[in-house]
Amino acid sequence: TKQVRTVLDGKYLYSYSDGDQHFQWSPDSKWFLVDYISIGGWNNTDIALVKADGSGEVTNLTESGYSDGDAKWVLDGKAMIWSSDRAGFRSHGSWGAERDVYIMFFDGEAYDKFRLSKEELALVEADENKDKDEDKTSDKDSDKKKEDKPVAPLKFDLENRKDRIIRLTANSSSLGDAVLAPKGDKLYYCAAFEKGFDLWEHDLKEKSTKLLLKNVGRGTLFADKKVENLYLTAGGKLKKIELKDSKEKPIAFKAEFAYRPAEERAYIFHHAWRQVLDKFYDPTLRGMDWKGYETAYARFLPHINNNFDFQEMLSELLGELNGSHTGARYNPGLTGPETASLGAFFDNAYTGDGLKIEEIIAKGPLTLAGSQIKKGCIIEKIDGTPIKKDADYYPLLSGKVGKKVMLSVYDPTSKQRFEEQVKAIGNGEQSNLLYKRWIENCQETVDKLSNGQIGYVHVRGMNSESFREVYSALLGRCRNKKAVIVDTRHNGGGWLHDDLATLLSGKEYQRFEPRGQYIGSDPYNKWTKPSCVLMCEDNYSNAHGFPWVYKTLGIGKLIGAPVPGTMTAVWWETQIDPTLVFGIPQVGVKDMQGNYLENQQLQPDVEVYNTPEAQLSGEDTQLKRAVEVMLQTVK
């Protein structure tokens, strides 16, 4: 009929990235199962039953404070299966949870039949087959094809749905897609318990689970009508899985196209422009003439013949928004071997041949037990090649990350020469060692300046791993400190503002003292003493959001340098040319006065800067000032 109707109002949905909306038609084509956030439920989605005629009839089926999604009709529409994290182990810092597959019945008879034992079900099926045999037509010679019967309209007993929910998976896991056999006796699902996603079969009658295939990947799972074969789309590939023999076969296909890079860049340019128009957090784009900018920048397209220049131009366009979390990136991939590191600082004042060791980085390649290498030693050769003065030694470490290298060393103190074999590390691993070195220096500084009264923790990133480190240090190493400095400097963001604010806002309300011995307090899982937050100019994203929350809730003082307002949530969208990515800051955060935090500079309560001169001399002025403030607090 070419008619279009709205089945579910957009206010009940939110699309963060393309392809994240899930819905499924009912067998009678009169209903939808949909993911559903109602009003304000972005972080704990539900599943709704929606009338397909556009009447607006919606029933929230799950009504759960947990995350529910990926619903599928099963058992001819008499039930649905879906995934939920209500029973799974949860991450410690707002970063997901393990999930399970559940089934909800819309029909009481189907629910009762599903719960029958294997033996009871066999008796029921025998009676059903007998009735079918008696109903068969006697005219077996007729070659008239029976027309397909129309699907009977579904009837729902929704009042009792909450009492007809069964958890199907035996163990919570990092869960992929799932398929239920037509008889409801077997569940096939992808889950990751170790490395990669495996295919599992759970026999609901035998109460047994077995592994069918390893490392099949995570993606969308389909079944044929008899569930003899499964079809999986994962990792950009199509696979057919024969359940009888537990074999997987790739489904080959060709998708050739005429590569036209100039036209592709033009498409990406206009696509990025439209995405900003549709998804930028401020629908007014701050009143700017976005159409005019499209015209102004499009004129450069005919003169660009490579992605280096294209991403620069696209970044300039996106930069006109004056927003965080945007710009374009181009990553052509690694084109050469990575250069290794030895885990040491070398004396830049040394003018002779070789590398004179100024400092050995703790836990690095040069700290092996029994090593003779120490500060002041000179590395004369790497794998037998001499290191001449003023010569670049990095080529001697090219491609040797994770490999053993032979060092020829001279010790000026003992006048001895010796050789040692060490395993070189990559720059990423050395950066982690340097981070630990910095943290330990900060801890020692705070301990020394406060005479052991003040604790110190650093929040490296706004993620689960960092939260666990902070939680462990606060309630372990710092348990008996009088106050704590929470350092967020150089934090690039993530999503941890509420977790950290909750952790630091504890108020002691009772103490446990059996026979006069103090053994603990409530809340046992929160910091209940004074704290402050240290911040600096390069705090970004959620590392602006958390100090803002901390200050707004009045938990303690902010110390350090002002932080630019960059609290938005971004989607970094990979393009049809996957070497190109651009960012859309699409979820804006508002204060309770209705103002976006983006572009609101956050002022510290105590403003103090680390000058370049102080940093070069090894002095941390901000940390020193934070100790002084906290010592005044605990007097």
Check pLDDT > 60 for residue 258: yes
Confirm if 231 and 241 have CB atoms less than 8 A apart.
Answer: yes
pLDDT of residue 225: 87
463-494 confidence digits (pLDDT tens): 999 999 999 999 999 999 999 999 999 999 99
| DSSP 8-state code for residue 139 | -
Check pLDDT > 90 for residue 625: yes
- Kind plus residue range of the DSSP H or E element containing 488: none
| DSSP 8-state code for residue 474 | I
487 has which bridge partners?
A: 458, 534
Give the number of C-alpha atoms closer than 13 A to the C-alpha of residue 458, restricted to the C-beta side: 18
117-157 confidence digits (pLDDT tens): 888 888 888 877 776 666 665 445 444 455 567 888 999 99
Confirm if 358 and 345 have CB atoms less than 8 A apart.
Answer: yes
Report the C-alpha gap between 167 and 197 in whole angstroms. 20
Mean pLDDT of the chain: 93
335-374 confidence digits (pLDDT tens): 789 999 999 999 999 999 999 999 999 999 999 998 999 9
533-573 confidence digits (pLDDT tens): 999 999 999 999 999 999 999 999 999 999 999 999 999 99
Q: Residue 6 contacts by C-beta under 8 Å, 6 or more apart in sequence? A: 54
Give the mean pLDDT of 95-104: 93
pLDDT of residue 142: 47
584-623 confidence digits (pLDDT tens): 999 999 999 999 999 999 999 999 999 999 999 989 999 9
Confirm if 13 and 23 have CB atoms less than 8 A apart.
Answer: no
- Of the candidates 453, 340, 463, which has an alpha carbon nearest to the alpha carbon of residue 403? 340
DSSP H helices in 393-541: 427-450, 464-472, 497-504
Report the C-alpha gap between 497 and 335 in whole angstroms. 38
- Kind plus residue range of the DSSP H or E element containing 96: none
This prediction's pTM? 0.91
